[in-house]
Amino acid sequence: MADNDSGDRDGRLILVRHGETEWSRTGRHTGRSDIPLTEHGERQARALTRQLERLTFQRVLVSPRERSWRTAELAGITDFTVDEDLAEWDYGAYEGLTRDEIRTQDPQWTIWTGTPPGGESKDQVSARAERVLRRLEPELRRGDVLVVSHGHFGRVLAIAWLQFPVSAAAALHMEPAAVCVLGDDRGQPVILNWNMPNPANERAESE
């Protein structure tokens, strides 16, 4: 894992996964496909305003997929840059399949231990994450940065921040429209908050 020279960072990296889509709700691998937010996903995105409105960002980057930039818009974020490197993992032939469906072909398969046929390897996805962090370094030295992306890629980005092997991302979990906060503790990259619950989910459970 590359050395990101994090000692002089004053800012935090705020990661947000997009809101729910029909495919995320049913556990289908969603990489290249541009699946829109469900109605609940839109409520989740709007509820993010409560978590983000008091923060000031040096820069906001979003994935090119609609489910990500629409989440940012509904959360009240209007000044953002689309970054192709923030796209979700390319699942190749496994696009649109659930884990159980994939395991009928490869019983031991996980995204962290195998490369999907015709898709990206974990090293390729990790390289994209490290490019993002290098580009954001100037802003992170001044303050907070917001990234709105995807479940698997967000976990890889967090692991790149922590400078761990990419396979360690298997130990993380990221719900739709969850907020995660990465920072530094005296020069050591750390997780400050992870998978913070979305207010829309709390309301739905109480109804």
Structure tokens at 48: 């993010």
Mark whether 18 is an active-site residue. yes
Between CA 120 and CA 43 the distance in angstroms is 32
The helix (run of H) or strand (run of E) holding residue 176 is: none
- Annotated catalytic residue within 20, 42, 88, 95: 88
- Annotated catalytic residue within 18, 29, 150, 152: 18
Count other C-beta atoms under 10 Å from residue 56's C-beta: 8
Count other C-beta atoms under 10 Å from residue 193's C-beta: 14
Please provide the size of the chain in residues.
207
Count other C-beta atoms under 10 Å from residue 95's C-beta: 18
- What residues contact 30, with CB distance under 8 A and at least 6 apart? 21, 23, 24, 67, 88, 91, 95, 96, 150
Closest by Cα among 201, 183, 203 to 192: 183
Which residues share a beta bridge with 37?
21
DSSP structure class, residue 86 = G
Catalytic residue list: 18, 88
